[in-house]
Structure 1
């Protein structure tokens, strides 16, 4: 790797670690920690699975279409997520940064990208397209999920940023590509 590119990468990694530590330092506030754990747990997939069951029952034809897109995007996202994780093999901040500890269960050993952020962003975009009145709430929740993963010591900011961007990209493709 060229020296200038290597030094840029090291600088970016150090900046990412500093931001992760700065956000993680707030985890000692009990109310914030409880909120972050709650957001992270709801982002585990149970909420998304429940939506796949409820939308067709409660949403009529639009609910069926939305649930169908959620399921297909979820499957594509899982394939992308596991491929990138296996390729990058980035350790979690709680495993390599002094001062950062895991404050929630760790689903696997690798950090990049954040699957929670990926799914939260994808589902927020898809659900917002079908239920626009819920968009502010959905995007606020997606942001909370992403923040929770960093505050709880499980991800770097770049993990949640890239997870969110991948989720937005796949949901956009579904809405404007394979979904119509």
Structure 2
């Protein structure tokens, strides 16, 4: 219980620092872009298509199996864990949260009594999805891992900044994504692509 209370205090304090003390016009413009995975789809989609069509059988299989990682991280986080844990989002319980909602910035009410987002927060599906892809592709192509880690950290930070998630939601999403990625990548390399 002591450890749990300490973790919750850390979660709340870290959220406050990122969401309230780091606010600026620059971050207000940047963070919604980083958080919106649709913006990532175009460059990543182009890279994926080039990778797929320029690869041999091994590369094509690696490219196709990345979709298993996406499907698993998304469904496990959204359809399995969130309904079990049912953790409220910070924007629903922390007064005066700096919140990005429906394309606009606002501050939540002074008492933390309004529901701004009905979906649960733990774990972050954004974090799980991006960390899953970062780990998966880093497993096969470690030379690009710094760029992928930067992308994952950027998305995770943005979710806290936007008032959508607690820091532990992000960390749990990262862990889930990495676990799923390894659960797909390791057997793929060991059994299906043993010639490496």
- 1:31-87 CA-to-partner distances (Å, cap 9, x unmatched) read 122221111013687459836962423444344222222111112212311200010
- Among 163, 166, 170, the residue aligned to 1:153: 163
What is the aligned partner in structure 2 of residue 14 from structure 1?
9
* CA gap 1:13/1:48 in 2 versus in 1, 3 angstroms: farther
Task: Indicate whether 1:170 and 2:167 are aligned.
Answer: no
In 1, Cα distance between the equivalents of 2:98 and 2:186?
Answer: 41
Asked if 2 retains the 8 angstrom alpha-carbon contact of 1:27 and 1:152, the reply is no
Deviation at 1:21, TM superposition (A): 1.1
Question: TM-score when scaled to structure 1?
Answer: 0.83
Structure 2 unpaired stretches of 5+: 103-115, 192-196
Cα separation, 1, equivalents of 2:180 and 2:14: 27
Larger radius of gyration: 2
Larger proportion of strand: 2
More helix by share: 1
| RMSD, aligned α-carbons | 2.6
Q: What count of residue pairs does the alignment treat as equivalent?
A: 175
Runs of 4+ with deviation above 6 angstroms? none
Q: Does structure 1 conserve the Cα–Cα contact (< 8 Å) formed by 2:98 and 2:163?
A: yes
